[in-house]
Amino acid sequence: MYATPTEITHEADRRRTVAIIAHPDAGKSTLTEALLLHAQAIESAGVVHGKSGRHHTVSDWSAIEQERGISVTSSALQFEIDGTVVNLVDTPGHADFSEDTLRVLAVVDSAIVLLDAAKGFEAQTLQLLDVCLKRSIPVITVINKWDRPGKHPLELIDDIERVTTMRPMPITWPIGDAERFSGLYEPLSKKAYRYEQSSAGAHRPEQTPVPEADLDSVFGADGSTCLDEIQLLQLDGYAFSPADFLARAGTPVFFSAAHRNIGVGQLLDFISRHGARPGARIDISDNPRPVKTDFSGYVFKIQSGMNRAHRDRIAFVRVCSGVFERGMVVHHAQTGRPFTTKYSQQIFGSRRSTLEIAWPGDVIGLVNATALSPGDTLYGETPVAFPPLPHFAPKHFRVARATDGAKYKQFRRGLELLRQEGAIQVFIAERLGEQSPILGAVGPLQFEIVSSRMAEEFSAPIDYEELPMTLCYGSTTEAHEALAKRSQAECEVATRADGSVVVLFSSIWKYQAIKRDRPELEFFSLSGSN
């Protein structure tokens, strides 16, 4: 299909590609489902299995898909509200998989940082927030579980300002807290909403508009406290500015009780009205690729074995520019090879649907994309390559060996595929040889996943030997030669698949000692975020 630049720009402008980052248990699944409910992508939350516990429902993508017929994937979830198409890209909750979240943050246009009102910013959220700040991703802050005892709202505002270094701009402000939480005030419209105290979270909440002048009479002391707090914030210059949000000078702040669907409508409305749109992506030569040019896409995730019966490998691609149409021939920038897209899909889970067309900001799944790895670029006509994906430096290391020596071929192939997929990092040390590669992970759970996938998908069970290393730096061939003979107690020199040298250290002290001893050797951080 030919699309004019005006059509492409129009479609891009109505897209919002967003990720939620949160510490496990802050309510990400609950909020996701509440967003779907508000967008009327599902009629009622928590009833998909006929269970009262809605907790299980969102994660069970395929069940929602089947019963509601909406486009839900384990990787990106698309829904439309008031003419805006929201692409919510899923992020794993567990800290051990934060590398996956890092990849997702390379393809979204804004991020929602979800906090538990009682806990504020937690370690994992801080690390990912830091990535958003470095990558200049606009951040929306949502304080959830306001129906439970938590911190004081002004204390949270202080925390947000200190931690994000952005100006908090409250879009909603709570009236009452914990069990007295009964309304939200919107400083922009100067209106409040009163919510009925029902425990059910399956439906949109009943809300009654309350004019500012009636806050006292309707909410009593909580109403006047809310107005006092808002006045205080406004005097301090915390008013909302759309430009400051997009320029990362300010972060809009929302209060919610996601399990009662309170505060979710306002968040969705904000995303639709003010959310960041897809913009030009900077290529490897530092040139912008405007959205209205011909097709380009960025691979951010590979998932194998989603369909066990077919043993397939799906590449998730964010459309960066132009229009994608199923069947078009695209090129793989890393090899220059043409790539057929006959099997592009939109819906994953146990059931999939064929995707016919996608615009900038959308996520497509390419089936059996064996040649693709996270960080690769695809383009239609005009060649382009985007910079590689950022990494977190691995912190955990184990030597892997095939349990059954006769399965060595499967062992190598399996590890190579898992490496390309980004499930684990693989290093070869001369001392250990190729038979016993060193695996590097950001979190130890990655090892468990690799071990079970090696056994199940590749019929090559593995054993691990723990390595007492905690740090990993990139280095040069000089360092390789100079340090190869050192004892393991000091360091371990290895190479990556691309031939680059890495040096592992058991502690920062060992690293510093070697630097003092051999000041001419160069070491550089393996963590990067572009």
Task: Select the span of 28-36, 41-49, 419-427, 512-520 touching ligand GDP (CB under 6 A).
Answer: 28-36
Please calculate the CA angle 310-311-312 and round it to the nearest 5 degrees. 90
Q: How far is the CB of 308 from ligand GDP (least distance, A)?
A: 25
The two tokens of residue 66 are 């089947």
Indicate whether 96 belongs to the interface with ligand GDP (CB under 6 A).
Answer: no
Question: Based on CB atoms, which residue is closest to ligand GDP, 87 or 124?
Answer: 124
Question: Closest by alpha carbon to 453, among 491, 424, 495, 431?
Answer: 424
Among 16, 27, 227, 391, binds ligand GDP (CB under 6 A): 27
Among 77, 169, 215, 257, binds ligand GDP (CB under 6 A): 257
Q: How far is the CB of 378 from ligand GDP (least distance, A)?
A: 31
Task: Select the span of 96-104, 145-153, 272-280, 353-361 touching ligand GDP (CB under 6 A).
Answer: 145-153
Indicate whether 147 belongs to the interface with ligand GDP (CB under 6 A).
Answer: yes
Task: Select the span of 66-74, 224-232, 257-265, 454-462 touching ligand GDP (CB under 6 A).
Answer: 257-265
Backbone angles phi, psi at 293, to 5 degrees: -75, 180
Among 259, 277, 292, 398, binds ligand GDP (CB under 6 A): 259
Question: Based on CB atoms, which residue is closest to ligand GDP, 39 or 262?
Answer: 262
Q: How far is the CB of 527 from ligand GDP (least distance, A)?
A: 25
Q: How far is the CB of 362 from ligand GDP (least distance, A)?
A: 24
Question: Based on CB atoms, which residue is closest to ligand GDP, 263 or 322?
Answer: 263
In angstroms, the Cα distances linking 529 to 210, 278, 301, 389, 522 are: 45, 19, 16, 7, 21
Amino acid occupying residue 296: S
Q: How far is the CB of 54 from ligand GDP (least distance, A)?
A: 7
Indicate whether 187 belongs to the interface with ligand GDP (CB under 6 A).
Answer: no
Q: How far is the CB of 8 from ligand GDP (least distance, A)?
A: 35
Among 15, 73, 93, 226, binds ligand GDP (CB under 6 A): 93
**Strand-pair category, 363-367 with 357-358:** unpaired
Among 3, 16, 18, 28, binds ligand GDP (CB under 6 A): 28
Indicate whether 469 belongs to the interface with ligand GDP (CB under 6 A).
Answer: no
**Strand-pair category, 377-379 with 438-441:** unpaired
Indicate whether 22 belongs to the interface with ligand GDP (CB under 6 A).
Answer: yes
The two tokens of residue 267 are 């968040």
Judge residue 357's burial from the number of C-beta atoms within 10 Å of its C-beta, 0-12 exposed, 13-18 middle, 19 or more buried: middle
In angstroms, the Cα distances linking 159 to 123, 346, 509 are: 14, 39, 33
Q: What end-to-end distance do the CA atoms of the chain give, in Å?
A: 33
The two tokens of residue 205 are 């909440």
State the DSSP code for 121: S
Indicate whether 30 belongs to the interface with ligand GDP (CB under 6 A).
Answer: yes
Indicate whether 145 belongs to the interface with ligand GDP (CB under 6 A).
Answer: yes
Residues in the chain, overall count: 530
Judge residue 42's burial from the number of C-beta atoms within 10 Å of its C-beta, 0-12 exposed, 13-18 middle, 19 or more buried: buried
Question: Based on CB atoms, which residue is closest to ligand GDP, 203 or 515?
Answer: 203
Q: Are 361 and 318 in contact (CB under 8 A)?
A: yes
Indicate whether 148 belongs to the interface with ligand GDP (CB under 6 A).
Answer: yes
Q: If DSSP codes are grouped into helix, strand and coil, which group holds residue 314?
A: strand
Q: How far apart are CA 526 and CA 500, in angstroms?
A: 11
Among 12, 26, 363, 482, binds ligand GDP (CB under 6 A): 26
User: Residues with Cβ < 8 Å from 120, sequence gap 6 or more?
Assistant: 151, 156, 159
**Per-residue contact flags (x/-) with ligand GDP for residues 39 to 78, judged by CB under 6 A:** ----------------x-----------------------
Task: Select the span of 9-17, 19-27, 158-166, 321-329 touching ligand GDP (CB under 6 A).
Answer: 19-27
Q: Which residues in the 115-144 window bind ligand GDP by CB under 6 A?
A: 144
Judge residue 512's burial from the number of C-beta atoms within 10 Å of its C-beta, 0-12 exposed, 13-18 middle, 19 or more buried: exposed
Indicate whether 38 belongs to the interface with ligand GDP (CB under 6 A).
Answer: no
Q: Which residues pair with 76 in a beta bridge?
A: 89
Site for ligand GDP, rule CB under 6 A: 22, 24-30, 55, 93, 144-145, 147-148, 257-259
